[in-house]
Amino acid sequence: MSLGFRNAQRNDVGLILQFIRELADYEKMLSEVVADEATLEEWIFDKQKAEVIFALEGEKEVGFALYFHNFSTFLGRAGIYLEDLYVKPEYRGKGYGKAILKKLASIAVERGCGRLEWWCLDWNKPSIGFYLSLGAEP
């Protein structure tokens, strides 16, 4: 089955929060999530400080990425900072994480951004291995 993408809409706030909680649980940090739907709606949709895309297998959201623009003074232009990338466990191993990164890279290129950056927890060896396999540089 092919993977599709869609931008999050205001009525997706509950789904965004669900993905954030699943990611936090995976990272053993669920107790640190204090975000709620109202806060996410305000900052993502009202203030437009972040964006979310969903990865879709058919009509089902199987992964998400939350990102925002940063700025490089040396490059003199904006970049994209990937805050969260998550694929539901039952959909891993299908190349969906790589597809999400490729989608973000294409958004960065389309917008004329200087770079695409992210940070990964140092204990998360599967994710570190994944990023390194794509040619990412620490």
Please state the separation of Cα 119 from the chain's center in Å. 11
- 13 with 37: CB under 8 angstroms? yes
Please state the separation of Cα 111 from the chain's center in Å. 17
Is residue 131 part of the annotated active site? The answer reads yes
User: 10 Å Cβ neighbour count for 74?
Assistant: 6
The CA distance from 29 to 101, in Å, is 23
Question: In DSSP terms, which residues pair with 66 in a beta bridge?
Answer: 52, 84
- For tokens 């890279």, what's the residue? 105
The catalytic position among 67, 86, 96, 131 is 131
Residues designated as active site: 131
